[in-house]
């Protein structure tokens, strides 16, 4: 499976999404649906790390559909989302997505590596408490 989504810890307060090349738009939509299921399975805020370190540069045909889907769902208990290892084009697409889907792409950060992503989420978690 080119897009892996799983709980990132035993208390289910972190979701890890890992993109591995190649992946397509249908897999992106499936991952969103799985992420929504994970979020809906708990009543509290869940942070998200999206890891692009192993992904090739590509834009799936269903990208805009995926952005709209995330925005329409709302994801009320999604906490901060940190994108790790995003190449320039992913950063650009994300900035575009923030314009057309501000609900879905709020509270979003970029990180150069996974350790920095965890540190950022720990800081954000302390500020929530």
- Where residue 115 sits, what CATH number does that domain have? 3.30.750.24
Per the model's pLDDT, the better-predicted residue between 119 and 56 turns out to be 119
In-domain check, residue 86 = yes
Mean predicted confidence (pLDDT) in 62-81: 80
Split at pLDDT 50, 70, 90, the class of 116 is very high
CA nearest neighbour of 55 among 102, 13, 89? 89
pLDDT-based confidence at residue 25 (cuts at 50, 70, 90): confident
Strand partners, 20: 54
The percentage of residues in the chain with a pLDDT greater than 70, rounded to a whole number, is 95
Query: Does residue 69 lie in a domain region?
Result: yes
**Any domain includes 96:** yes
Asked if residue 57 has pLDDT above 70, the reply is no
Q: What is the pLDDT of residue 58?
A: 67
Please give the residue range of the domain that contains residue 24.
3-119
Asked, for residue 124, whether it belongs to a domain, the answer is: no
User: 72 in a domain, yes or no?
Assistant: yes
57-to-37, 54, 81, 99, 107 alpha-carbon distances in Å: 27, 10, 20, 21, 24
- Please answer whether residues 82 and 119 qualify as being in contact, where contact means their C-beta atoms are separated by less than 8 angstroms: no
What is the total count of domains within the chain? 1
Q: Considering the domain boundaries, does residue 126 fall inside one?
A: no
Domain assignment present for 40: yes
């Amino acid at each position: 499976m080119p897009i892996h989504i799983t709980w990132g810890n035993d208390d289910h307060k972190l979701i890890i999404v890992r993109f591995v090349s190649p992946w397509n738009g249908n897999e992106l939509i499936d991952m969103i649906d799985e992420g929504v299921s994970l979020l809906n399975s708990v009543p509290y805020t869940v942070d998200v790390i999206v890891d692009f370190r192993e992904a090739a540069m590509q834009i799936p045909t269903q990208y805009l559909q995926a952005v709209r889907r995330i925005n329409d769902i709302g994801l009320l208990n999604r906490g901060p989302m940190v994108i790790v290892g995003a190449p320039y084009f992913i950063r650009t697409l994300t900035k575009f997505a923030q314009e057309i889907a501000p609900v879905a792409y709020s509270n979003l950060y970029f990180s150069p590596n996974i350790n920095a992503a965890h540190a950022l989420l720990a800081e954000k978690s302390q500020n929530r408490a």
